[in-house]
Chain A
């Protein structure tokens, strides 16, 4: 049901520009005003959210340690520097692996129960499909976003040209097919099917889990449609996009409506991004269980709001138990405490 709602939402989002531009000729609104507004909201929301997180302090140093600690005898007990970093450099390496290789997700296992002749067995199998398709999706998205820089920069930087070439290196079809286009759709479909097929995951999935998947799928499919089927006028589009970045916006004639659908979906994504779970992208950089070294035994960490709390004092303790302590032969700081309260 949640999936269906999300799909319907995205359909409506496709229909809006189809009618507004196709029938209502609102090219300027959908080609200039909406993308500008969306981009501004994206930037503001993105920064706002990060500032909001950063304003909360990290009172305690709480890395999740995934291996052997730095020992007093590093030769006898070899430290696992990647999973239990003890200094800033090791922590940066851990973060790089986390962010660029999804290292924690790579650990993924699946637990299953089996009744065997020998009795019950709980088995754990490696389960890397989620990791694989998550990597495919995220890297494809990243490459596609970078490729789009050719529409916003003149001259086109060498790395964008190189990326463009590499992404189409298989030389299939005309225009040449980008591998990233295929892989992002494959990744999205896997992530979507996984939510629908696995009962556990379906049970926890909200509209806000399906919606971004359908929305990004819509972005990808509309882009694919523009390139391979509608074969839109790229020169005109670049004229429009360069107008946007040079703050000299205008809409040239002859741009296919599919472009406006694509732009509208991307605009929706930009506005939605800072309000949603998609903020896991910047959030992972701030995660206290990953971005701190496990060094609290030999480096002082400051809690800015450390409350002024003192222990129950030894004096109070001795007063409480003095007579019994004296009788048991335990030393007393204050011999007076040896007397029972009524004597004192």
Chain B
């Protein structure tokens, strides 16, 4: 499939709705509009552990007319719907109170970039509300057409599959809704129902099942995990001359460190991982990592609440087994939505008596704001160290970069971690520029690959949804010469590079702790001539290095 150029794609966006009503407008099932379905064995594996949350493992394709649904699929979905109305007040309320004012319509990145009216949050939720009214309300049953109601049919289920996997659960619409209706909640419920009848995507199911077995989404087995970490220790030694420690599965340490596995696996996440290791070495921190709990992220959040709970529970279990007092969490978006809003509710009872309110052993700061979860965000930890002057930093080592910061949806609208990362960046870099108002902080735009959509087969959809972020990035690129977008999310680090290449070519993507690692002066280090990417530092360019500082 050929990708249109950025200009062509931009010109193709049309906000005029189709002539036909949305219930009559057919859905496009051509490849490129959907993520590949989950492999049969992955569904079977998860079904073995959570038989009530998954169903119908099989080989199937959304392109086929027959999705091989179970004969009683409608009964399963409608019973599941009814059950969730009784379990989640959010769902019940959000089905009833929307007035369709449309304030959310142009807040969704997928609508802004596609013009498809079913990507307006209000209409995305109406796909489900119409069924709610048609199946569960008297008025909807009698006056179906007039009240925008319909009954559950196979075409509706297929439409749900397309559009509830074109929502990244970013909650931007929820911020603007006068009643706080959160499409992320609706999408989560729809995905739970779809999973009951085996309508699923492999990009979510495989990481979730991997995480259950190997401890991380990428399916890295413990010995391979150790190899990768050792490899990064070698790289750090090459760059700095210092051999840092990287403890794994060791008992008796104060802190358990957990970060998304994307950070150990792929460029540019690995540079942030190296930054973590260097920071902990600098501090001589009493910590360990774990291969069993080697995943900060949680693709259960994109599947159903049962899987989310099962995967998340490893964190406390492992802290208990290793005897750790508290957990330090790495840079990840949805991981922190789970930790902030779900973790203690789901799994707080698993905490062992050895766990304590986190206290920074270097500065003595007590993190009262995580007294119950016992989990601190790495940028909170680092900001505290910087404030107390505990780090030896040389920000000029990042002078190659003019940096901006992409707020992750989840840490912004599901937590409110806005200033901590900015504080860290400004202390380790000399030039920092925010993207325009309306595209950052609580109004930040999604990378368009969140909630398990960061897969190649829907690249055009992702790039369309990436328009608002990409365009804001291009603005600071042209105005301020920004050439590096920092973020605190492993999914961002995977999804933003293609987005930047498309909408703002020339801008790279990094984690905040990559910048920390570059600036951090390790005791006994050799003269640093390269950054963590092994690019020459200013003043150490090779003869054949054609890099010149921006704006010169």
Contact = CB atoms under 8 A, between A and B. Distances in A.
Interface of A: 2, 5, 49, 52-73, 76-78, 80, 83-84, 98, 102, 104-105, 107-111, 113, 115, 118-122, 124, 130, 134, 198-209, 275-277, 279-280, 283-284, 286-290, 294, 296-303, 305-307, 309-314, 317-318, 320-321, 324-325, 327-331, 333
A297 B102 contact: no
A203 B117 contact: yes
Contact of A324 (B89, B215, B221, B475): B221
B182 A208 contact: no
A102 B106 contact: no
Interface of B: 6-7, 10-11, 13, 15-17, 21-22, 49-50, 85-93, 96-103, 105-107, 112, 117, 120, 122-123, 126, 137-139, 146-148, 171, 174-182, 185, 212-215, 221-223, 226-227, 248-251, 291-292, 305-306, 309-311, 313-314, 317-318, 321, 339-346, 348, 365-373, 375-376, 380, 383-384, 387, 412-420, 423, 438-439, 441-443, 467-468, 471-472, 474-475, 478
Contacts of B366: 72
Given A124-B439, A321-B223, A312 B310 contact: yes
B249 A324 contact: no
A330 to B, nearest CB: 5
Nearest to A321: B222
A296 B340 contact: yes
Given A275-B139, A283-B97, A289-B90, 9 more contacts: A56-B85, A57-B89, A65-B416, A68-B416, A98-B178, A118-B478, A208-B148, A311-B313, A317-B215
Contact of A119 (B7, B22, B292, B369): B7
A104 B180 contact: yes
A124 B438 contact: yes
Listed from nearest, the 8 A-B pairs whose CB atoms lie closest are: A69-B416, A283-B97, A328-B223, A311-B313, A289-B180, A65-B416, A290-B180, A206-B148
Nearest to A121: B471
Contacts of B420: 71, 77
By CB atoms of chain B within 10 A, which of A72, A77, A276, A294 has the most?
A72
Contacts of A53: 89, 92-93, 96
A102 B177 CA distance: 10
Contacts of A63: 341
A105 B307 CA distance: 35
Given A68-B419, A124-B439, A298 B90 contact: no
B52 to A, nearest CB: 9
Contact of A204 (B16, B117, B365, B475): B117
Contacts of A289: 90, 174, 180-182, 185
Nearest to B445: A122
Contacts of A199: 15-17
By CB atoms of chain B within 10 A, which of A65, A77, A306 has the most?
A65
Nearest to A5: B146
30 contacts: A53-B96, A59-B88, A64-B182, A68-B416, A72-B370, A73-B387, A76-B383, A76-B423, A105-B176, A121-B471, A122-B471, A203-B123, A204-B120, A204-B122, A206-B146, A279-B97, A284-B179, A287-B179, A287-B181, A296-B340, A296-B344, A297-B372, A311-B310, A311-B311, A311-B314, A312-B212, A312-B310, A317-B213, A327-B223, A330-B226
B318 A314 contact: yes
A61 B185 CA distance: 12
Given A200-B105, A310-B313, A324-B223, A61 B345 contact: yes
Given A57-B89, A296-B344, A277 B213 contact: no
A298 B98 contact: no
B335 to A, nearest CB: 13
Contacts of B412: 65
B413 A64 contact: yes
A330 B418 contact: no
B139 A286 contact: no
Nearest to B105: A200
By CB atoms of chain A within 10 A, which of B11, B17, B439 has the most?
B17
A291 to B, nearest CB: 8
A204 B372 CA distance: 43
Contacts of B344: 296-297, 300-301
B147 A207 contact: yes
Nearest to A55: B86
B346 A113 contact: no
Contacts of B226: 328-330
A69 B369 contact: yes
A54 B439 CA distance: 36
B101 A296 contact: no
A296 B345 contact: yes
A341 B182 CA distance: 49
Contacts of A70: 369, 416
B90 to A, nearest CB: 5
Contacts of B474: 119
A303 B347 CA distance: 10
A118 B180 CA distance: 37
B87 A122 contact: no
By CB atoms of chain A within 10 A, which of B49, B178, B309 has the most?
B178
A205 B89 contact: no
Contacts of A201: 100-102, 105
Nearest to A327: B223
Contact of B223 (A67, A120, A318, A325): A325
A5 B311 CA distance: 52
B442 A309 contact: no
A108 B227 contact: no
A332 to B, nearest CB: 9
A320 B213 contact: yes
